Every structure is written in structure tokens, then in C-alpha cells.
């Protein structure tokens, strides 16, 4: 199977190279109109077919690796390093992306899959798709070069074949690791498609904004995958790492967040190009930057440039990524300079207070946030270069610098949709903003009364202050969005006689993009409220013997005993804790400590017990035994509003699906609307309807 | 007093009442006594290599956490200022023990750059939009002047009426 996989990768490389070269030659011939022995259109079609065949070849290679994992083929180095016989089936599948070579193969396979779908849909616009297909092939050539020469997944072990493998990193043996990395990679890789369309459209001086319409679905789907990937990663960190948090501003976490920020900026600013022919250069560079940031993220992950808890993926292929990023940047700059005349704006801003300006400020804030994260991630390298000493840029830095920017962005989330296009008047500002501002200040007062106080005993607490701002601005934004829904629904209700809820559904279906976007914003507000809850986290840690008690918030945890279990993969020890409230036993929690049998030794891993209710999470970690006293140690956290984060993400996903759905035509909607009540002769005579 | 004047005074009074309510609420309440230990624990890194904050390092048997926490507690008990405690840690364990760059020397650049970039970008954006809106305003005025000179008074009045009637904001 190793030989089969290696050949499949070589064939895939040859096909991708042919796709790139033949595609480029064909498009050049078409552009210049030079006579050629072969029809350029036919040549371009052979390039496209090579791209499709390349997908099958990469699929065969990925299949070969997965098959080898399941077959315990320990003649392959990758399988020895990332699997063992005792590994459960789903995690054997996850072994595909748990190491360097496998994850690069996954990247190449996903890129091949995106390219496959794109090439099948080429009739939408043959020429533009040919350009995009050739650019995708160029990116694919890079990944296949690495897979064939720098990080081959099918390299054979030297010496004798071991009887068993080293097994999978225990941190990765968690259900979410089966879906989190593929989701994240679908997001990372997916941004190659809008990048390819943007670069292709610029190269061919594509007339109009149709390429944006074509790529909109691709961009939104990609953004959705990246969003889900990031939040699944957060949930994994929360449930597995056992420190009670979900985001540690680790460089690799940051690397996934940066393209999300620029991608989000692109999704917003592209609307200005669609509607008003503005911001063309800006949009092109946003999507270029997003693609480059996905590569930078991978570079940070692989090259070990910065310290990270994701050290399992470090290697020496960073140079490959740096060179490739340099080439991509050079191509982007050259194409932009050569074709920038094609990107002239059709309209200018007419007012500082308008929908267009709000998009611009939204972009400004998103890009500033991206810069802050990039700056914080790379500052240790800069500091070492300038001063000779490395510094740590951790959570305290980001919390102070990035959170205010984030709150400003939240504010714009509410303001933007209330502003009309082109220009606005003081009257309309007054009309649209009064209720949200009242909601904001009412929330400030409610929060202060409820105990969310930035000052206590003369000391300022930035966490409480930011939470207060987040709750209040969130309430204002939520009110603004809901009032938009209600305003539109009221008009429809009046027109069609439907009730308000039904009118709201019809309103959303008539303009899925707009109202889907609003639903995403509602989800974001819920997420921010959940994040703001972190300022009030509490924790308590103590040694606990049988019958010992621990108090946290309204709960009392009583240790009733310890038990053990064992299987081929790991031994585990559970603490049995009865959770009581007001003297009444509510439920039992069983935090677990595992010892995985890996590489001939045992690797410890905690399995957190979480009891989640809308108000908070009771989060209990069994940390093992104190080496000095031999007593078990239990740590409990009471984390407010964490479940809001996951609920908010679901709302964001729902909103994205709504935005992706096609809008119904108002004419069709009218036909589907319930028929008006019959007009009686009496009513007509009275001059109205009965 | 005119209607608009009384409305204005109503809003001013409302704003004053809100500010007063907020000020009263801010002054209520009490703080957690162990907040300082918690705060400093989240400004230092655990030195065992786990890349976690000292206050969040969670593995049993950590060779560094106990010692660092004890030093932190001693510093607080002896009445040292936060800055002195952090400096003592940096002197003993190196600058990487601090979870964020210091606000002095070259490290200060880390703190200033984000806000400087944001302020510059904000200012630049505002100036750019004002400049563009000036250009757009001149263009649209020129178009309006050209068109208006070709229209009869009736048509001009009809257009003005339509503009008034359709002056609804919102909508994509």
C-alpha cells in the first residue's frame, strides 16, 4: 500500500503540473490570439480534465494512508509514529491529520476536492473557471512537491518492522479531534478558491462583478467551515486541556483567527463592490491577504517559529512555506500593478455616516484586530532580534489590547445595519438609534445592580469593566437587529395580513442574505456575552479524600470514592463526586485521570467532567495525586455563561445557512401569501374592506 | 419654549439621570480579598514548559508551580508592590516568565504599536472618506446642476416630491 500511495502522489503531482502549465499556455494563447497547432480551448479542457484526474490520484493516496492505519501497517514510519493496535477505529481515521505528513496530505486532498467541484462547474463561466483552475493547480503543485520530496507520508521504516506503533497523542484522543481539524482545514484550504477567482479575474481583466457573485457561496461556505473549526477547537481545549478556559491566545490559535478576521472583512466589504462598484482594490487585497494568512498560519504551526502548545506538528518545512509565500506575494503584487487600471472605483463615498462608511470602519477594526494578533504573535521574534532576549506575549497582552477593539467591532455590528446606503440624516439616526441606546443604558444599570462592577473597594477590574461594556453594547446591538426585523415584519404583516412571526419568516425568505447576516450578528452577540462571562470565573482546588467536601458557588461537592477501569488503550481512575445544592444531592460527576499506554510508557491525560446549565458550567478536574502527600487533588471551576458561546455559534451557523439559501422573489412570495379576505358589497359601498 | 427645545431638554435630563444612576451603582459592592494573588498569577507564566499561565497551570506534580506560587504569596505578604514582585520574578526566571511585555524599553513598542496603528488607520479612514465624499458631492452637484437646468419647474417639483416621499432609510 505504501508503494501504491507514493505512486498516487507522484501521478497527482504530474497531473497538477500539467494542469498548471497547459492551462497557462492555453489561456495565454486565448488572450493573445496567436495561432497554434492545437486549439487553445481543447488544450484548456485537457488541463481541466487533468485537474479532475489529479483529484482521483490524491484521493487514492489519502485512501492508501487511511487503509494502512486500519491495517496496522507498521512498515510505514507515519503509521508507527501516530497509531498503534489498541487505538479505537475513529481515532485511527483521525491519525490521517494528527501528524505533519498526514495533515499535508489532508490539505492536498481537500484542495483537490474543492478543485474537483470547481472544474465540474466550469460551464458557469468557462474562461474564468479555467484561470481559477490553473491557479488552484499551482497551489496544488506546491503541496504535492512537499508531499513527494519534503514530508512523504509513505516513507518506510529503517531496519526491522516494529510489532506495534507509538500510538496517537492522548490530547488528540477525543471525539472532537475527529471533526475539528478537518473543519479547520476545510476553512483554510477553502480560501484558496476565492483567492484563485480573485487573482484569475484580475489577470483576465474580468468585466463587471460577476466573479464576486460566483465566489460568494464559496467564500461563505469556507468562512462557515473556518468558524466551526475554530469553535470546535475552543470546545476541545475547554473539554480536554483541563485549565477551565477555551482560548489561550496560543500562536496556532491566533493563526486560525487571523484569516477568519480578514475573511470576515472581505465578506462585508465585497457588498460595496457588488452594490456600488467601490473598494475593488481593497477587496482583491483582502482575499489575497486571507490566503497568505492561511499559509502563514501553517508556517507558524510547522516551522516552530514561536512557542506553542501545538508543538506536535513542528518540523523543518517552514522554508518551503516561506518560499511559496514569497512567490504568491510576488505574483499578487505583479498582477495588481499590471492590472490595477481595471480596479478603478465607480462611486465615491458620499458621507462619513452611511452604510458604506460603516463597512469601511468594520474593515478597519477587523484588520486592526488582525494586525494586533499578528503583532503579538511575532513580537517575541522581533524582541529577540532587537534586544537579544525573547519575551512572552500571552493572554494579558491580548486581553488589554484586542478586547477594546473587539468591543468596538461589536458596537459597529449594531450600528452598521441601521445606517442607509450613501448618506443619512440626523432624523433617521435619531429614529433608528433611540431604542437601542435606551436598551444599552438600561443594561448598564441592570448589570451594575446585579453586581457587575468595574470598581470594587477602590480597585479597578478591567475584566468586569469589559464584561459590563460587552453586555450593554450587546443588548444595544440585539435591540437594533430585532427592531430591524420587527420593522420589516410589521410592513409585511400589514400588506399580507400574516401574523408577526410568519411575516418575519417571509421577510427573511425575501432577503435571505440580509436577514441571514443579521442572524449571524445575533449569534455573535450571544457568543460575546458568553465570552464576557469569563470575567466572573471562580475556581477552588484542594486535596480530597473520601467524604471530604468542597464548596463552589451554590454547589457542595462530596467525594464518595474512587474507582478504576482499564482497557487495551489506557488505564483510568475516576473520582466519584456527589454534587449537592441546599443539602440535596443533584447528580454525580466523575472526572477522570487516564494513563495511555504509548511507546512503551504511560502518558497521563485528564478527562474533565462538565455539568452545563444556561447560567454556568460546573467544571471538575481530577488532577491526580499529590506526589508529596499521596492525596488525590480535585479542582473545580464555576464558569458563567460558557454554554452561551456554543449556543451562539449554532445561531451563527443557522444564519450562514439562511444567508446561503436563495431569496424568494417578492412576486412569488405574494402569490404564496394567504388570499385577502373577501370584499363584501357592503364594505365597498362603505368605502373599505370588511 | 419651542417643541424642539423642550425635546432637547428632555433628552439632556434623561442623560443626566442615567449618568447619576450609573455613578450610584458603580459605588456599590465589595471586592474579593484574594484578587491580587489571582491577578498576579495570571500575569506570570509557569516555568515548567507547559506554556500556561501560572494561575492556570493544571497538571498535578508540576515541578515549578508550587515554588512560584509560594514566592508570589511571600511577595504579597511582605507588602511588595506588584511591579516589584514581577521584576523579582523576571530577574530570577528571565523575561519569558512575564506573561506580557513590560511597559518600558523596547517592550513598550509592543503596547503602543496596536493603538498607534488603529489611531492612524482611523484618522486616515476619516480623512479619506471626507475627501471622497467631497469629490462625490461635487460630482453629484454637477450632475444635478446639468440636469436641473434642462428641467421645467413642474418636473423639478415632481422630482422633489418623489424624493421627499421616498426618503426612507435602511435597506440593502
B26 closest CB neighbour out of A392, A420, A448 = A448
| Residue A254 pLDDT > 60 | yes
Could you tell me which residues come within 8 angstroms of residue A35 by beta carbon, excluding any fewer than 6 positions away? none
Please answer yes or no on whether A347 and B136 come within 8 Å at the CB atom. yes
A165 and A82 in contact (C-beta within 8 Å)?
yes
Q: Which residues of B touch A448 (CB under 8 A)?
A: 22, 25-26, 28
Residue B10 has pLDDT above 80, yes or no: no
Residue A140 CA, distance from chain mean position: 22
A641: left (phi over 0), alpha (psi -120 to 50) or beta: left
Confidence of residue A39 (pLDDT cuts 50, 70, 90): confident
Query: DSSP label at A578?
Result: E
Whether B169 sits inside 8 A of A241 (CB atoms) is no
CB proximity under 8 Å: A 591-610 to B: 604, 606
Chain B CB contacts of A418 under 8 Å are: 170
Distance from CA of A596 to the nearest CA of B (A): 16
What pLDDT sits at residue A671?
45
Q: How confident is the model at residue A40 (pLDDT cuts 50, 70, 90)?
A: confident
Is B21 domain-assigned? Answer: no
| Distance in Å, alpha carbon of B155 to nearest chain A alpha carbon | 24
- Give residue B148's pLDDT band: very low, low, confident or very high (50, 70, 90): low
Question: What does the pLDDT read at residue B29?
Answer: 42
- The 10s digit of each residue's pLDDT in A529-552 is 999 998 888 888 888 888 899 999
In a domain, B139, yes or no: yes
Give me the percent of chain A exceeding a pLDDT of 90.
Answer: 43
Q: Is A551 on the interface with B (CB under 8 A)?
A: no
Q: How far apart are the CA of A641 and the nearest CA of chain B, in angstroms?
A: 19
Q: Which of A282, A347, A394, A605 to mutate to test the interface with B (most CBs of B within 10 A)?
A: A394
Identify which of A568, A564, A570 has the alpha carbon closest to the alpha carbon of residue A604.
Answer: A570
**Cα A73 from Cα A2, distance rounded (Å):** 9
Chain B residues with CB inside 8 Å of A308's CB?
51
Instruction: Evaluate if residue A488 carries a pLDDT over 70.
Output: yes
**Structural domain range at position B70:** 35-97
Which helix (H) or strand (E) is A319 found in, with range?
A: helix A318-339
Q: Would you place residue A59 in the very low, low, confident or very high pLDDT band (cuts 50, 70, 90)?
A: very high
What pLDDT is attached to residue A399? 87
The verdict on B91 and B116 lying in the same domain is no
Number of Cβ within a 10 Å radius of residue B132: 21
Side-chain half-sphere exposure of A54, counting CA atoms within 13 A: 37
C-alpha span between A430 and B8 (Å, rounded): 12
| Among A residues 8-47, those touching chain B with beta carbons less than 8 Å apart | none
Report the pLDDT averaged over residues A635-652.
94
- Comparing CA positions, the residue from A331, A332, A321 lying closest to residue A296 is A321
Determine, yes or no, domain membership for B160.
yes
Examine the pLDDT at A332 and tell me if it is beyond 90: yes
The answer to whether residue B164 scores a pLDDT higher than 70 is no
Exposed, middle or buried: residue A541 (CB in 10 Å: 0-12, 13-18, 19+)?
middle
Q: What is the pLDDT of residue A51?
A: 93
Do B85 and B129 fall into the same domain?
Answer: no
Report the b/e string of A485-495 with b at 16+ CB within 10 A: beebbeebbee
CB distance A452 to A467 below 8 Å: yes
Disruptive mutation site among A249, A261, A349 for chain B (greatest number of B CBs within 10 Å): A349
Q: Is the pLDDT of residue A244 over 90?
A: no
- Residue A259's pLDDT is 94
SS3 of A533-560? HHHHCEEEEEECCCCCEEEECCEEEEEE
Strands A601-607 and A584-589: unpaired
pLDDT in the model for residue B139: 56
A484 pLDDT higher than 80: yes
Instruction: Evaluate if residue B15 carries a pLDDT over 80.
Output: no
Report B:82-141 residues touching A (Cβ under 8 A). Answer: 94-101, 105-107, 110-111, 113-115, 117-118, 121-122, 125-126, 128-130, 132-133, 135-137, 139-140
B91 and B43 within one domain: yes
Per-domain residue ranges for chain A? 1-168, 174-379, 405-535+649-686, 537-643
B101/A383 CB distance under 8 A: yes
Q: Specify if B8 maps to a domain.
A: no
In this complex, do A349 and B129 lie within 8 Å of one another by their Cβ atoms? yes
Q: What Rg, from alpha-carbon coordinates, does chain A have?
A: 28
* pLDDT one-digit tens code per residue, A140-153: 999 999 999 988 99
Closest alpha carbon to A10 in A58, A76, A55: A58
A351 touches B at CB < 8 Å: yes
CB A558 within 8 A of CB A654: no
- Looking at the complex, does the CB of residue A491 fall below 8 Å from at least one CB of chain B? no
Find how far residue A31's CA is from the centre of its chain.
Answer: 38
CB within 8 Å: A514 and B135: no
Yes or no: say if A336 and A202 are a contact pair by the CB < 8 Å rule: yes
Please state which of the ranges A127-136, A224-233, B57-66 shows the lowest mean pLDDT.
Answer: B57-66
DSSP state of A601: E
pLDDT at B168 exceeding the cut of 50? no
pLDDT score at B30: 39
Q: Are B41 and B69 in contact (CB under 8 A)?
A: yes
Mutation target among B29, B40, B45, B86 for the A interface, most CBs of A within 10 A: B29
pLDDT at B23: 55
pLDDT of residue B1: 44
Question: pLDDT higher for A209 or A648?
Answer: A648
Are B60 and A351 an interchain contact pair (Cβ–Cβ within 8 Å)? no
pLDDT at A416: 77
3-class state of residue A489 by DSSP? helix
Higher pLDDT, A280 or A423: A280
Torsions phi, psi for A539 (to 5 deg): -150, 155
Would you say residue A103 has pLDDT above 60?
Answer: yes
Q: Which residue, among A456, A472, A659, would best test binding to B if mutated, counting the most B CBs under 10 Å from its CB?
A: A456
Average pLDDT over residues A211-236: 90
Tell me the C-alpha distance between A129 and A124, whole Å.
8
Place of cell 501560572: B54
Q: Inform me whether the C-beta atom of residue A580 falls under 8 Å from chain B C-beta atoms.
A: no
| Interchain contact, B111 vs A514, CB within 8 Å | no
Contact yes or no for B30 and A456 at CB 8 A: yes
Is the model's pLDDT at B170 over the cut of 50? no
| CB contact B3 to A (< 8 Å) | no
| Chain A residues touching B60 at Cβ < 8 A | 623-627, 633
Of A348, A351, A449, nearest to B25 by CB-CB distance is A449
3-state secondary structure of A625: strand
Residues in B touching A405 (Cβ below 8 Å): 114, 118
Whether the per-residue pLDDT at A438 is higher than 50: the answer is yes
Q: Which residues of B touch A367 (CB under 8 A)?
A: 121
Contacts of A449 in chain B (CB under 8 A): 25
Cβ–Cβ gap B172/A390 under 8 Å = no
The strand pairing partners of A580, in sequence order, are: A556, A585
The chain-wide mean pLDDT, for chain A, equals 86
Give me the DSSP letters along A97-149. Answer: GSSHHHHHHHHHHHHHHHHHHHHHTGGGSHHHHHHHHHHHHHHHHHHHHIIII
C-alpha cell read off for B14: 434623561
Mean pLDDT score, A245-250: 87
| pLDDT tens track for A157-173 | 888 888 888 888 888 88
The residue among A212, A194, A221 whose CA lies nearest residue A657 is A221
For A632, the 3-state DSSP assignment is strand
The domain boundary residue, chosen from B77, B97, B117: B97
Give the pLDDT of residue A605.
Answer: 82
Q: Across the interface, do A420 and B171 touch by the CB < 8 Å criterion?
A: yes
Between B66 and A448, residue with greater pLDDT: A448
Does B130 reside within a domain? yes
Alpha-carbon gap: B150 to the closest alpha carbon of chain A (Å): 24
Residue A559 phi, psi (nearest 5):
-80, 120
- Please report the residues numbered 11 through 50 in chain B whose beta carbons come closer than 8 angstroms to any beta carbon of chain A: 18, 21-22, 25-31, 35, 42-43, 45, 50
Least confident segment among A259-263, A611-615, B17-21, B168-172: B168-172
Return all residues near A372 (Cβ < 8 A) that are at least 6 apart. A398, A401, A402, A405, B114
What is this structure's pTM? 0.84
Cβ atoms of A411 and A473 within 8 Å: the answer is: yes
A486 to chain B: which residues are within 8 Å by CB? none
- Return d(Cα B145, Cα A190) in angstroms, integer: 49
**Burial profile A579-607: b = 16 or more Cβ within 10 angstroms, e = fewer:** bbeeeeeeeebebbbbbbbbeeeeeebbb
Is the Cβ pair A453, B25 closer than 8 Å? yes
CB spacing of A394 vs B96 below 8 angstroms: no
Residue of A nearest to B105 (CA): A387
Q: Which of A283, A286, A397 is nearest to A342 (CA)?
A: A283
The residue ranges of DSSP E strands in A475-591, in sequence order, are 538-543, 549-552, 555-566, 570-581, 584-589
Q: Residue B129 and residue A308: Cβ atoms within 8 Å?
A: no
Q: What percent of chain B has pLDDT over 70?
A: 55
B132 and B152, same domain (yes or no): yes
Length of chain A equals 690
Q: State residue A221's pLDDT score.
A: 93
What pLDDT is recorded for position A555? 93
Local structure of residue B58 (DSSP, 8 states): -
Closest CA to A467 of A488, A444, A449: A444
Q: Show residues of chain A in contact with B130, CB under 8 Å.
A: 352
Closest partner residue to A624 among B60, B100, B128, by Cβ? Answer: B60
Length of chain B: 172
Q: Are residues B69 and B49 in the same domain?
A: yes
Closest alpha carbon within chain B to A512: B172
Locate A96 and state its grid cell.
490521517
Separation CA A83–CA A73 (nearest Å)? 10
Average pLDDT over residues B88-116: 89
Task: Using the predicted structure, report yes or no on whether residue A580 has a pLDDT greater than 90.
Answer: yes
Domain annotation covers residue B48: yes
Q: Residue B172: list chain A partners with CB under 8 A.
A: 271, 275, 355, 421, 511, 513-514
- pLDDT of A516 above 90: yes
The number of domains in chain B is: 2
What's the average model confidence in pLDDT over B103-112? Answer: 89
Task: Verify that B116 and B71 share a domain, yes or no.
Answer: no
For residue A680, pLDDT beyond 90: no
> What are the DSSP calls for B86-108, one per residue?
HHHHHHHH-GGGBSS--SSTTHH
**Percent composition of chain A: helix, strand, coil (DSSP 3-state, to 5):** 65, 10, 25
More confidently predicted of A357 and A635: A635
Tell whether the torsion through CA atoms of A216, A217, A218 and A220 is positive or negative.
Answer: positive
Is the CB of residue A210 less than 8 Å away from at least one CB of chain B?
no
Beta bridge partners of A593: A573, A606
* Chain A residues with beta carbon closer than 8 angstroms to that of B170: 418, 420, 432, 484, 487
Predicted pLDDT of residue A314: 56
Rounded alpha-carbon distances, angstroms, from residue B10 to A143, B3, B5, B13, B23? 66, 11, 9, 5, 20
Contacts of A126 (CB under 8 A, 6+ apart): A44
The reply to whether residue B110 touches residue A393, judged by beta carbons under 8 angstroms, is: yes
Tell me, yes or no, whether B2 lies in a domain. Answer: no
Give CA–CA dist A465/A683, Å, rounded: 61
B35-44 confidence digits (pLDDT tens): 778 888 888 8
Range of weakest confidence among A527-541, B22-36, B101-115, B122-136:
B22-36
Are A524 and A410 within 8 A, CB to CB? yes
- pLDDT at position B33 is 42
In a domain, B172, yes or no: no
Amino acid at each position: 500500500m505504501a508503494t501504491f500511495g507514493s505512486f498516487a502522489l507522484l501521478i497527482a503531482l504530474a497531473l497538477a503540473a500539467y494542469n498548471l502549465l497547459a492551462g497557462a499556455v492555453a489561456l495565454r494563447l486565448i488572450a493573445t490570439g496567436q495561432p497554434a497547432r492545437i486549439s487553445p480551448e481543447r488544450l484548456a479542457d485537457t488541463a481541466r480534465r487533468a485537474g479532475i484526474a489529479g483529484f482521483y490520484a490524491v484521493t487514492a493516496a489519502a485512501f492508501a494512508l487511511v487503509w494502512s492505519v486500519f491495517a496496522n501497517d507498521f512498515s510505514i514510519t507515519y503509521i508507527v509514529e501516530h497509531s498503534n493496535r489498541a487505538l479505537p477505529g475513529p481515532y485511527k481515521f483521525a491519525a490521517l491529520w494528527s501528524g505533519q505528513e498526514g495533515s499535508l496530505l489532508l490539505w492536498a486532498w481537500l484542495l483537490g476536492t474543492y478543485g474537483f467541484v470547481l472544474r465540474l462547474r466550469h460551464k458557469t463561466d468557462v474562461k474564468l473557471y479555467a484561470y481559477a483552475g490553473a491557479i488552484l493547480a499551482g497551489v496544488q503543485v506546491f503541496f504535492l512537491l512537499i508531499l513527494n520530496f519534503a514530508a512523504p507520508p509513505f516513507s518506510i521504516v529503517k531496519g526491522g518492522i516494529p510489532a506495534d506503533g507509538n500510538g496517537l497523542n492522548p490530547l488528540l484522543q477525543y471525539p472532537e479531534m475527529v471533526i475539528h481539524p478537518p473543519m479547520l482545514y476545510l476553512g483554510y484550504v477553502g480560501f484558496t478558491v476565492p483567492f484563485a477567482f480573485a487573482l484569475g479575474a484580475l489577470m483576465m481583466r474580468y468585466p463587471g462583478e460577476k466573479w464576486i457573485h460566483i465566489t460568494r457561496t464559496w467564500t461563505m461556505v469556507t468562512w462557515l467551515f473556518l468558524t466551526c473549526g475554530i469553535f470546535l477547537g475552543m470546545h476541545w481545549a475547554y473539554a480536554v486541556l483541563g485549565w477551565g478556559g477555551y482560548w489561550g491566545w496560543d500562536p496556532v490559535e491566533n493563526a486560525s483567527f487571523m484569516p477568519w478576521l480578514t475573511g470576515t472583512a472581505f465578506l462585508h466589504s465585497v457588498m460595496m463592490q457588488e452594490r456600488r462598484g467601490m473598494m475593488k482594490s481593497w477587496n482583491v487585497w483582502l482575499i489575497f491577504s486571507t490566503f497568505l494568512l492561511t499559509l502563514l498560519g501553517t508556517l507558524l504551526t510547522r516551522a516552530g517559529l514561536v512557542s506553542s502548545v501545538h508543538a506536535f506538528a513542528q518540523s523543518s518545512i517552514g522554508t518551503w512555506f516561506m518560499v511559496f509565500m514569497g512567490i504568491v506575494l510576488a505574483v499578487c503584487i505583479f498582477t495588481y500593478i499590471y492590472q490595477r487600471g481595471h480596479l478603478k472605483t465607480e462611486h465615491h463615498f458620499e458621507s462619513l455616516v452611511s452604510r458604506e462608511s460603516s463597512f469601511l470602519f468594520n474593515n478597519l477594526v477587523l484588520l486592526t484586530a488582525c494586525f494586533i494578533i499578528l503583532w503579538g504573535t511575532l513580537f517575541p521574534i522581533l524582541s529577540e532580534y532587537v534586544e537579544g532576549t525573547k519575551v512572552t506575549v500571552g493572554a494579558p497582552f491580548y486581553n488589554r489590547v484586542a478586547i477594546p477593539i473587539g468591543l468596538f467591532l461589536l458596537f459597529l455590528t449594531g450600528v452598521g445595519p441601521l445606517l442607509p446606503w450613501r448618506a443619512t440624516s440626523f432624523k433617521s439616526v435619531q429614529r433608528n438609534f433611540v431604542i437601542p441606546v435606551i436598551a444599552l443604558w438600561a443594561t448598564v444599570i441592570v448589570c451594575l445592580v446585579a453586581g457587575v462592577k468595574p470598581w470594587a473597594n477602590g480597585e479597578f477590574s478591567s475584566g468586569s469593566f469589559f464584561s459590563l461594556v460587552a453586555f450593554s453594547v450587546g443588548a444595544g446591538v440585539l435591540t437594533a437587529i430585532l427592531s430591524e426585523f420587527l420593522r420589516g415584519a410589521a410592513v409585511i404583516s400589514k400588506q399580507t395580513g400574516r401574523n408577526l412571526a410568519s411575516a418575519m419568516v417571509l421577510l427573511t425568505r425575501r432577503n435571505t442574505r440580509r436577514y441571514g447576516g443579521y442572524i449571524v450578528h445575533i449569534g455573535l452577540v450571544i457568543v460575546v456575552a458568553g465570552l464576557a462571562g469569563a470575567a466572573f470565573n471562580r475556581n477552588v482546588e484542594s486535596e480530597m479524600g473520601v467524604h471530604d467536601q468542597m464548596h463552589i458557588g451554590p454547589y457542595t461537592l462530596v467525594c464518595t470514592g474512587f474507582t478504576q477501569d482499564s482497557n487495551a488503550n489506557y488505564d483510568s481512575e475516576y473520582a466519584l463526586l456527589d454534587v449537592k445544592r441546599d443539602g440535596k444531592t443533584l447528580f454525580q460527576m466523575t472526572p477522570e485521570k487516564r494513563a495511555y499506554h504509548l511507546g512503551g510508557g504511560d502518558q497521563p491525560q485528564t478527562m474533565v467532567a462538565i455539568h452545563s446549565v444556561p447560567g454556568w458550567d460546573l467544571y471538575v478536574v481530577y488532577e491526580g495525586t499529590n506526589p508529596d502527600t499521596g492525596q488525590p487533588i480535585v479542582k473545580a471551576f464555576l464558569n458563567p455563561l460558557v454554554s452561551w458561546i456554543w449556543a451562539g455559534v449554532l445561531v451563527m451557523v443557522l444564519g450562514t445557512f439562511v444567508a446561503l439559501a436563495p431569496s424568494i422573489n417578492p412576486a412569488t412570495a405574494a402569490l404564496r401569501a394567504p388570499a385577502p379576505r373577501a370584499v363584501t358589497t357592503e364594505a365597498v359601498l362603505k368605502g373599505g374592506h370588511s | 419654549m419651542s417643541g424642539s427645545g423642550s425635546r432637547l431638554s428632555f433628552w439632556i435630563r434623561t442623560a443626566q439621570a442615567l449618568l447619576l444612576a450609573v455613578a450610584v451603582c458603580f459605588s456599590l459592592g465589595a471586592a474579593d480579598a484574594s484578587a491580587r494573588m489571582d491577578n498576579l498569577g495570571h500575569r506570570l507564566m509557569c516555568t515548567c514548559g507547559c506554556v500556561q499561565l501560572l494561575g492556570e497551570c493544571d497538571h498535578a506534580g508540576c515541578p515549578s508551580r508550587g515554588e512560584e506560587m509560594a514566592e508570589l504569596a511571600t511577595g504579597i505578604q511582605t507588602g511588595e508592590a506588584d511591579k516589584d514582585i514581577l521584576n523579582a520574578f523576571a530577574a530570577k526566571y528571565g523575561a519569558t516568565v512575564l506573561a506580557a511585555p513590560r511597559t518600558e524599553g523596547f517592550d513598550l513598542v509592543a503596547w503602543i504599536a496596536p493603538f498607534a496603528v488603529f489611531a492612524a488607520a482611523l484618522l486616515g479612514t476619516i480623512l479619506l472618506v471626507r475627501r471622497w465624499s467631497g469629490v462625490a458631492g461635487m460630482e453629484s452637484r454637477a450632475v444635478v446642476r446639468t440636469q436641473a437646468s434642462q428641467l421645467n419647474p413642474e418636473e423639478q417639483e415632481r422630482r422633489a416630491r418623489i424624493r421627499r416621499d421616498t426618503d426612507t432609510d435602511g435597506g440593502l
